[in-house]
């Protein structure tokens, strides 16, 4: 039985499709039942299992009968509220695989995953790799150079309709299709030398100028803000064709030219499109009066929407009627703490007003917030009694541990209680 973590991700979908084509017994694992949009219709719902890799017991529960494990989880995110997996996630997968003596564990990563990477996403990918390396298990890590869909979405025709990024200069990549990555993953899973990290690229290597020339006829010409889709990583993350042949046994079949023309490539499949906002940018929150003053001057549209949604949802806790409520930040003042989240920046605030639709004042309060970059967690609430219990209950153990080391939350009642029960976290 092949147990596949990250089955709903782009590479995971391709691996699931290829495993099904090969007639392999596969158990796809998704984080929860809200995380199956890409694999709906691909497998019977009874074949799906759910497990949050951040919790070892949840991973153990889906490992029964596993003879091989593929981990396709990565730290990418797809908009406000999405999760970035921490190092513990892959460690839990490796530990559980070792406990059931799965025999083979393969983790899919990227060439740019190094501690010193220019890209924060790639730094986080490196941490996921370390979660595997730290466990005594028969593991192998496949590091892919880049993918066709990353080229198309970041630099050619972004699905969110925004302007594409320019290519980083002085860089080099060897992109391949997710379909070829899936073929190579399953081939390598059948026979690999444990404890090795192996690199894979596509059939061609491109310098910045060469790739720029290749994509130029297809680039979507748009002005305005750049797409939310990430650009290719800078630096040399290419893989020599000889290295790929040695690792994969042959060069990948799909070409970038096919992907650019939308032919014979996994990038043309609708299931792999639109991971930021499939239905386009959502409108402003109903409580947003369209003015923000200085405190919202550096908030992106995404962050602004999240702030309004979370503060309106928290009104009931402070005894304020949320029906028809509108938030007025024009008279608010910024505190000393600032956080970056959802593509913008936000300070803690004092003097935020809640108005009725008629403009009557319902409430004036201060706003506190927390940001955990590792788990891609952002929360804000009406300040006064510390972190609300409802928010605390939703935070995973890793976030709670990190909050306990944050001086701002040292005296928070819930943090104090957490440390009393977990003195080792001090």
Residue 422 pLDDT more than 80?
Answer: no
Residue 7 pLDDT more than 90?
Answer: no
Residue 387 pLDDT more than 80?
Answer: yes
Which pLDDT tens digit goes with each residue over 243-285?
A: 999 888 889 999 999 999 886 545 433 333 333 444 456 778 9
Which pLDDT tens digit goes with each residue over 112-132?
A: 666 655 666 667 787 888 888
Residue 169 pLDDT more than 50?
Answer: yes
Q: Return the higher-pLDDT residue of 110 and 257.
A: 257
> What distance in Å separates the CA atoms of residue 9 and residue 30, rounded to the nearest whole number?
9
* pLDDT for residue 89: 87
Residue 54 pLDDT more than 90?
Answer: no
Residue 32 pLDDT more than 90?
Answer: no
Q: What is the arithmetic mean of pLDDT over 55-72?
A: 93
Residue 82 pLDDT more than 60?
Answer: no
What's the chain's length in residues?
426
* pLDDT for residue 129: 84
Residues 248, 201: contact at Cβ < 8 Å?
Answer: no
Of 3, 7, 10, whose CA–CA distance to 275 is shortest? 10
* pLDDT for residue 338: 94
Element holding 2 (H helix, E strand): strand 2-5
> What distance in Å separates the CA atoms of residue 143 and residue 107, rounded to the nearest whole number?
9
> What distance in Å separates the CA atoms of residue 211 and residue 204, rounded to the nearest whole number?
10
Which pLDDT tens digit goes with each residue over 297-347?
A: 999 888 999 999 999 999 999 999 999 999 999 999 999 999 988 878 999
Residue 10 pLDDT more than 50?
Answer: yes
Which pLDDT tens digit goes with each residue over 176-221?
A: 999 999 999 999 998 888 888 899 999 999 999 999 999 999 998 8
Residues 6+ apart with CB under 8 A from 243: 199, 200, 201
Domains of the chain: residue spans and CATH? 2-272 (3.40.50.720), 283-384 (no CATH), 385-426 (no CATH)
Q: Return the higher-pLDDT residue of 81 and 101.
A: 101
**In the chain, what is the straight-line distance between the N-terminal and C-terminal CA atoms, in Å?**
42
């Amino acid at each position: 039985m092949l147990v596949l973590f990250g089955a709903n991700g782009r590479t995971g979908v391709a691996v699931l499709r290829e495993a099904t084509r090969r007639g392999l017994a596969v158990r796809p694992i998704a984080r929860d039942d809200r995380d199956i949009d890409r694999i709906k219709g691909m497998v019977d719902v009874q074949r799906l299992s759910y497990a949050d890799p951040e919790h070892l017991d949840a991973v153990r529960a889906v490992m029964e009968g596993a003879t091989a494990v593929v981990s396709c989880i990565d730290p990418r995110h797809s908009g406000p509220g999405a999760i970035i997996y921490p190092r513990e996630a892959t460690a839990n997968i490796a530990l559980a695989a070792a406990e059931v003596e799965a025999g083979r564990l393969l983790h899919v990563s990227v060439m740019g995953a190094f501690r010193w990477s220019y890209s924060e996403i790639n730094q986080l990918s490196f941490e996921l790799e370390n979660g595997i390396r730290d466990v005594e298990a028969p593991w192998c890590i496949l590091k892919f150079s880049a993918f066709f869909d990353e080229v198309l979405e970041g630099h050619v025709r972004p699905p969110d309709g925004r302007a594409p990024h320019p290519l980083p200069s002085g860089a080099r990549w060897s992109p391949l299709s997710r379909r070829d990555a899936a073929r190579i993953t399953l081939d390598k899973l059948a026979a690999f030398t444990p404890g090795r990290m192996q690199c894979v690229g596509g059939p061609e290597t491109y310098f910045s100028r060469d790739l720029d020339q290749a994509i130029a006829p297809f680039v979507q010409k748009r002005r305005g803000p750049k797409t939310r889709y990430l650009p290719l990583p800078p630096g040399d993350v290419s893989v020599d064709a000889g290295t790929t042949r040695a690792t994969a046994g042959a060069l990948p079949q799909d070409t970038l030219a096919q992907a650019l023309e939308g032919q014979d490539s996994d990038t043309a499949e609708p299931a792999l499109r639109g991971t930021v906002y499939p239905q386009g940018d959502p409108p402003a929150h109903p409580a947003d009066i369209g003015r923000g003053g200085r405190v919202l001057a550096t908030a992106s549209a995404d962050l602004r929407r999240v702030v309004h949604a979370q503060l309106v949802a928290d009104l009931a806790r402070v005894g304020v009627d949320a029906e028809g409520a509108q938030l007025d930040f024009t008279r608010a003042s910024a505190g000393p703490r600032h956080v970056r989240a959802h593509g913008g920046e936000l300070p803690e605030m004092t003097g935020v007003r809640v108005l009725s639709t008629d403009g009557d004042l319902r409430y004036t309060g201060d706003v506190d917030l927390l940001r955990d970059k590792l788990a891609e967690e952002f929360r804000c609430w009406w300040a006064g009694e510390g972190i609300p219990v409802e928010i605390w209950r939703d935070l995973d153990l890793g976030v709670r541990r990190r909050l306990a080391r944050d001086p701002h939350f040292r005296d928070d009642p819930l943090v104090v209680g957490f440390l009393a029960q977990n003195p080792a976290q001090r």
